[in-house]
Amino acid sequence: MLQKLEITTFKRDEMRDITREVRSVVNKSGVQNGLVLIYSPHTTAGITINENADPDVKHDVLMRLDEAYPWTHPKYRHAEGNTASHLKTITTGSSQTVIIHNGELLLGRWQGIYFCEFDGPRNRQYYIKVIEG
């Protein structure tokens, strides 16, 4: 089962918790044991898994990514001016895979799945592929 979802982001850099949406797709699929793949088809937006209990973690992650990849740099050459967004996406990755066990996502107690926007605000899409097995 493959599902395409839409997401609207509101900031240049933003981490949006999409765990509920992923769970919903898995539940609708009826798959009890397998994998779910979450994929972003964008070069300036990624998918990651991280803590979802304390909102300060998102703030700190985005702050450190900005420090590692500043928005402007005298040696950047990319004409669109969003090199930092591409670097952040390379760091987070474009997809994550989660085990489905007994119909549930096998995430750690504090883990959530995030859509990471690095060149917003934008209207984006991401895909969820549920694989039985």
| Residue in 41, 51, 35, 45 with CA at minimum distance from that of residue 97 | 35
- For residue 109, what is the domain's CATH number? 2.60.120.460
Distance CA 52, CA 66 (A): 20
Range of the domain at 21: 2-132
| Domains contained in the chain, number | 1
Q: What is the pLDDT of residues 12-36, one digit of tens each?
A: 999 999 999 999 999 999 999 999 9
Residue type, position 63, single letter: M
Single pTM value for the model: 0.94
Q: Grade residue 89 by pLDDT with cuts at 50, 70 and 90.
A: very high
**How large is the C-alpha radius of gyration of the chain?**
16
What is the model's pLDDT at position 72? 86
pLDDT digit string, tens, across residues 96-108: 999 999 999 999 9
Sheet with 104-105, side-by-side order of all strands: 2-8, 123-132, 34-39, 95-101, 104-105
